[in-house]
Amino acid sequence: MEIRDENFRIWAEGTTIYFDGVLRLAGPDAYAPIHSLAAAALHENHERVVFDLTGLEFLNSSGINLLAKLTIEARRQSSVQLVIKGTTQYPWQSKSLPNLKKLYPQLDLQLA
Amino acid sequence: MSKTVLGIYDLTQASFSSSLRLTLSDGPLELGWRHSGLTSDFIAEAMALRFAASKTLHADIHHGIEYLSNELIENAVKFRLPGEIIIEACVKAEVFLMRVRNEIDAATSLRFRDILTGMLAADPGELLIQQIEANAASDSGASGLGLLTLLADYHARMAWEFETSGENRVRLTTTASLELPLTSTE
């Protein structure tokens, strides 16, 4: 499954969800299809689910809210290990992704 | 005409002479959500151009300006009454300064003033985490994270001026500053 427009692309490959491009949708309603795609992976009884953000250049605050919401969903479902892969190449990731660890210390946040 | 200032008062006195000035108008532009991204991209490109010699420095500065501009313009597009959004931006003494002016209705103004009063009385980092938890529990229509991420993650300084401009119309002027990371390892 894939969700895309001219600025971004989000897709699933196995238990990894890839986020690519520039994502600045208008709010929770606009982010709902992306939430459904990523939340489905968390609820499919996998041991490990990866959100790969290494291609995500920009995310607005509504999108940060989406990532936080998904992190809290993973926290509630302790049978799955959530891994978030990011990059220091895009400054927003170093600034905002560490907040996710505060929400869920068991989150495996990999910022390379 | 009543006026209320919240946040860092000194910012309201900041001069925007020799700044970039844009007016987004209703009408043929069909002003909408996508204009916030387009406009913030333009501001970041224009303001960060002088730092292009260092790739790392340029990326950091470009991103900070883009994020701040995008969040402020998104708010203006989302909450405004029909009418113009006036945007000014400049870089002075290692600081990016931005001012956004638009009109909102009286109820939005009151609600926003309440939110800001609470926000300014607390630690933004702690409030950000609390707000995220509250959003996850409530499915509310707006995340409310824009200003909190600017204060907590970007250490932006901000001021808001509310001036009655007509019946059920309040002119909101938001001024923000962001220190530019002018040291680089390159």
Taking CB atoms within 8 Å and a gap of at least 24, the contacts of B105-108 are B105/B81, B105/B168, B105/B169, B105/B170, B106/B168, B106/B169, B106/B170, B108/B79, B108/B170
CA A2 to chain centre: 14
Q: Reply yes or no on whether the pLDDT at B139 is more than 90.
A: no
SS3 label, residue B54: coil
Query: Bigger pLDDT: B141 or A24?
Result: A24
Per-domain residue ranges of chain A:
2-111
Give the residue among A45, A19, A100 at the shortest CA–CA distance from B133: A100
Whether ipTM > 0.90 holds is yes
Structure tokens at B33: 């959500």
Closest-CA distance of chain B to residue A42, Å: 16
Of the candidate CATH numbers 3.40.50.10860, 3.30.750.24, 3.30.460.10, 2.70.50.60, the domain formed by A2-111 belongs to: 3.30.750.24
Count of C-beta atoms within a 10 Å radius of residue B50:
10
Q: Reply yes or no on whether the pLDDT at B185 is more than 50.
A: no
* pLDDT of B186: 45
Query: φ, ψ for residue A78 (rounded to 5)?
Result: -65, -10
Q: Reply yes or no on whether the pLDDT at B184 is more than 70.
A: no
Mean pLDDT of chain B: 93
CB A70 within 8 A of CB A51: yes
Q: For A56-99, how does the pLDDT look when each residue is reduced to its tens digit (9 = 90+)? A: 999 999 999 999 999 999 999 989 999 999 999 999 999 999 99
Count of C-beta atoms within a 10 Å radius of residue A26:
17
Helix or strand run (H / E) with residue A20: strand A16-23
Q: Reply yes or no on whether the pLDDT at B81 is more than 70.
A: yes
Asked if the Cβ–Cβ distance from B63 to A58 is below 8 Å, we say yes
CA B179 to CA B173: how far, in whole Å? 20
The pTM of the full predicted model, rounded to 2 decimals, is 0.95
In chain A, which residue ranges form alpha helices assigned H by DSSP?
28-42, 61-76, 91-96, 98-103
CB A85 within 8 A of CB A56: no
| B135 vs A65, A96, A99: nearest CB | A65
In the DSSP assignment, the letter for residue B49 is G
Which of B132, B140, B178, B179 is the best residue to mutate to test the A interface, defined by the most A CB atoms within 10 Å of its own CB? Answer: B132
Asked if the Cβ–Cβ distance from A68 to B136 is below 8 Å, we say yes
